Chain A
Amino acid sequence: MIAHLPILQVIIPLLAAPICLLLNRSKLVWLFSLLASGLAFSISILLLQQVMTSGVISYELGGWQAPWGIEYRIDNLNAFLLLIISGISTVVLFAAQTSIEKEIPKDKHVYFYVLYLLSLTGMLGIVATGDAFNVFVFLEISSLSAYALIAMGNKRQALWASYQYLIMGTIGATFILIGIGLMYQMTGTLNMEDLSQRLPEVAQTRTVFVSFVFVIVGVCLKLAMFPLHLWLPNAYAYAPSIVTAFFAATATKVAVYLLIRFTFSVFGLSFSFTTIPLQTLFMALGLFGIFVASTTAIYQSNVKHLFAYSSIAQIGYMIVGFSLSTVTGLTATLLHMFNHALMKGAIFLALAAVVYRVGNVELKNFRGLGRQMPLTMAAIVIGGLSLIGVPLTVGFVSKWYLLTALVEQGWWPIAVLILLGSMLAVVYVWRVIEVAYFKEPLEQNVEVKEAPMSFLIPIWTLVIANIYFGIDTRLSVQVAEAAAQSLFGVSP
């Protein structure tokens, strides 16, 4: 059983999805999905323990030897990502039933869970697999179910947002497919480990160069990296609240993982950072992303829009850390992936609770919520502080590592810019806090009460994790450092 954990990780949610259709009772399906996601979470914990103690796990699908067969390869980085995705998915699912009661018609509840589990399968699959073509297949599994989930939003703008995401997402995925095809043409292999050994022999050819560019652009589309982020704000704002919480915390992280995997492992560090000026390019785009998206966030009147733009800005921080191409820089990126999942998960779940009580998340409706929904608003405040990077929250830890990495390289001006970017976060978080705590409630909202326990428990689980990992950084830093070091080929 233990030997089969890598495949069980992916196949449990995959099989659970059609079983949901057979169960066909909203509440029952919810409990069943929670069970499946919980199982995936426990498996990811076991995998992480196994990887930390005994090193890389290689699993051959159907017993066919790699590189001919498909290999699932779990190292520190994969195990870390699997833990984030399945963990967030489980916590978010806990609140799902209450939230979708108000947002999705009853006859569609079962389909919601089916799509949710398929999307989870896709993300786990992308991370677990060691085969380049498999990445494309799982990417499409997760994206197709994501389009359908977003279209379930109760406003008609959700359809339009979903359509735009479909066009952009498909172009991105097809770019990755072209890149993989060109790689296969040059090396005759699809196994990532094998590719990384064979690509250097043909590294000077134009085909490999073109394949690299296609993969990078494709991944950046999926990543919503500035300036390819246009699909993200509407998709997040109009999707059902639970879907937003799940995607905001996980989907872009998976794309960042792909970026790291392809540049560091498959193409190799020296190739990736010398053939095109990736460092300058990503550094500039990352910084632009931070400033443009944070500034846009300040002017939003819909709070989901506001935090969606903030997500794009946070991706900017990950990109800056990545572009340093040092161990500390990469550690900062990996830490920020983990930490951002915790804070955005908490914030968007709290917004889901607001939607449940108030009906929408227009900023004007937040008036007086500080007194009416104290626990939910406190969660947004702590999540917001974490976004800014206040000490004792997780946000501080990753910002600290990012600044250390920048100073290590002597890039003071950029470190200053990062701090200025955080000031912008203060502004947009303050706008929400000001309205919620210092204004009288609107007439129609006087009756609003605190969110039910089914929201408060998952929200505060994430909030406490935000504070806990901000104080006791051993686990997250240790795993992130080990992952970064193994990517650089430094033995820990």
Chain B
Amino acid sequence: MLIGLFNDWIVVVLMMIGLYIVIAHGNLIKKLIGLTIFQTSVFIFYISMAKIDGGTAPILADGITQYSNPLPHVLILTAIVVGIATTALGLSLVVRIKESYNSIEEEEIQQQDNDEQLSTNKAEENA
């Protein structure tokens, strides 16, 4: 049970680690790391789904009867590209957040936004 589903266990563990980091950490870079781990677990899930014991690459050759399914592998290539694009976009957003807030901690950013809101409200009252 444990050994037979080894890959699935890894997938679930990684998925939970990833999601936990996204939720629990306030650092924007760490959140992105968590997101990447989460996505990677899904890649492993797809890749191990297609593997058959003793199966080889799906190329016609003499004496080979068992092939692994190539489709999930191809699908996940696409998903990996999407993952890279997401991480790149996320990181560039973090760079610009750092430039304009001078912080990459969720709490500090939220605090600055709230302060800004409060000071505009006060200015209104005085006016």
Contact = CB atoms under 8 A, between A and B. Distances in A.
Interface of A: 133, 136-137, 140, 144, 147-148, 151, 156-157, 159-160, 162-163, 166-167, 170-171, 174, 177-178, 181, 184-185, 364
A137 B78 contact: yes
Contacts of B85: 140, 144
15 contacts: A137-B78, A140-B82, A140-B85, A144-B89, A159-B93, A162-B93, A163-B97, A166-B90, A167-B22, A171-B19, A171-B38, A174-B39, A178-B45, A181-B45, A364-B124
Tell me the dominant secondary structure on chain A's binding face: helix
Contacts of B39: 170, 174
Contacts of A177: 42, 79
Interface in B59-90: 72, 75, 78-79, 82, 85-86, 89-90
A174 B22 CA distance: 14
B49 A185 contact: yes
Contact of A163 (B28, B38, B42): B28
A185 B28 CA distance: 34
Contacts, number: 67
Given A159-B100, A163-B28, A364-B124, A174 B38 contact: yes
A167 B97 contact: no
Contact of A167 (B35, B82, B100): B35
Tell me the dominant secondary structure on chain B's binding face: helix
A258 B63 CA distance: 45
A144 B46 CA distance: 22
B109 interface: yes
A113 to B, nearest CB: 18
Contacts of B72: 181, 184
Count chain B CB atoms within 10 A of each CB in A151, A170, A181, A364 and give the residue with the most. A170
Given A159-B93, A160-B97, A163-B90, 8 more contacts: A144-B85, A156-B100, A160-B101, A162-B93, A163-B28, A163-B94, A167-B22, A171-B22
B81 to A, nearest CB: 9
Nearest to B11: A178
A159 B90 CA distance: 10
A151 B72 CA distance: 33
A133 B72 CA distance: 10
Contacts of A147: 89, 93
Nearest to A137: B78
B66 to A, nearest CB: 16
A178 B75 CA distance: 12
B14 to A, nearest CB: 12
Contacts of B96: 151, 159
A137 B72 CA distance: 14
B107 interface: no
B35 A171 contact: yes
Contacts of A185: 49
Contacts of A178: 42, 45
A148 B92 CA distance: 10
A112 B25 CA distance: 32
Nearest 8 Cβ contacts at the A-B interface: A156-B100, A140-B82, A163-B93, A159-B97, A159-B96, A170-B86, A185-B49, A181-B46
A443 to B, nearest CB: 10
